[in-house]
Amino acid sequence: MIEDAWIPLLITLKVAGLSTIFVAILGIVISYLLARREFRGKWAADTLVTLPLVLPPTVTGYLLVVLLGKNGIIGQPLFDLTGWAILFTWQAAVIAAFVVSLPLMVKTTAAAISGVDRELEYAAYTLGHSELETMLFVTLPLAKKGILAGLVLSFARAVGEFGATLMVAGNLPGQTNTMSLSIYTAFQSGNDTLANILVVTLVLVSLIAMGLTAKLIDRWSV
């Protein structure tokens, strides 16, 4: 019983952790561009990033299957070059978690960056700092609370992801059976004891993550 709960927890933390790393890197870049740059197609880019937030997870999963399947736009060239099919792997679960959690990171971080006083950035420019240096040492540190909030929301979304993950990664025991999928399977099979253990474990992980985040925010506020 412990192993039945432990393995899904490890898979979930691996998938959510890797997803959050990618979300942090790409999300900050996208957020900065949306908050500080004006370019043609900005509205379309913002809409495209936000779309997974409003689409049903199964629709997002289906679109990912179309892209990543052996006959997909991305999946077919990848399979032809490497012979590797990405669907129904833990890597596919990471991609699904990344896609559905990225909008939370972008929306939260872009709002935080937009709230940073532009005069502080202009002052850095006049002192000879480049835009990249100003972003790294002025803008992002001042927006750190919003960035951290976005990371927590993204991690929580990745931990709880179900629909898109089921579509692209399946529910393979020991490989892609995340906590959410395992809870569903245990409930469907009538294993209420395992379902309860998984639910309690998932709630505790979420509470710990939120508690640690609140402490960090309080420390940074001092």
The pLDDT assigned to 196 comes to 92
Domain containing 214: what range? 2-221
Two tokens at 171?
A: 């529910």
pLDDT band at 36 (very low <50, low <70, confident <90, very high): very high
Q: Which three-class secondary structure state does DSSP give residue 37?
A: coil
- How many domains does one find in the chain? 1
Is the pLDDT assigned to residue 219 strictly greater than 80?
no
The pLDDT assigned to 70 comes to 85
Of 2 and 144, the one with more pLDDT:
144
Is the pLDDT assigned to residue 62 strictly greater than 80?
yes
CATH code, domain with 167: 1.10.3720.10
- Report phi then psi at 38, rounded to 5: -115, 125
The pLDDT assigned to 179 comes to 93
Residue-wise pLDDT for 127-173, tens only, equals 999 999 999 999 999 999 889 889 988 998 999 899 999 999 999 98
CA dist 147 to 1, 31, 61, 88, 160, Å? 38, 10, 26, 31, 20
Is the pLDDT assigned to residue 88 strictly greater than 70?
yes
DSSP state of 139: I
126 CB-contact burial (10 Å; exposed 0-12 / middle 13-18 / buried 19+): exposed
The pLDDT assigned to 212 comes to 75
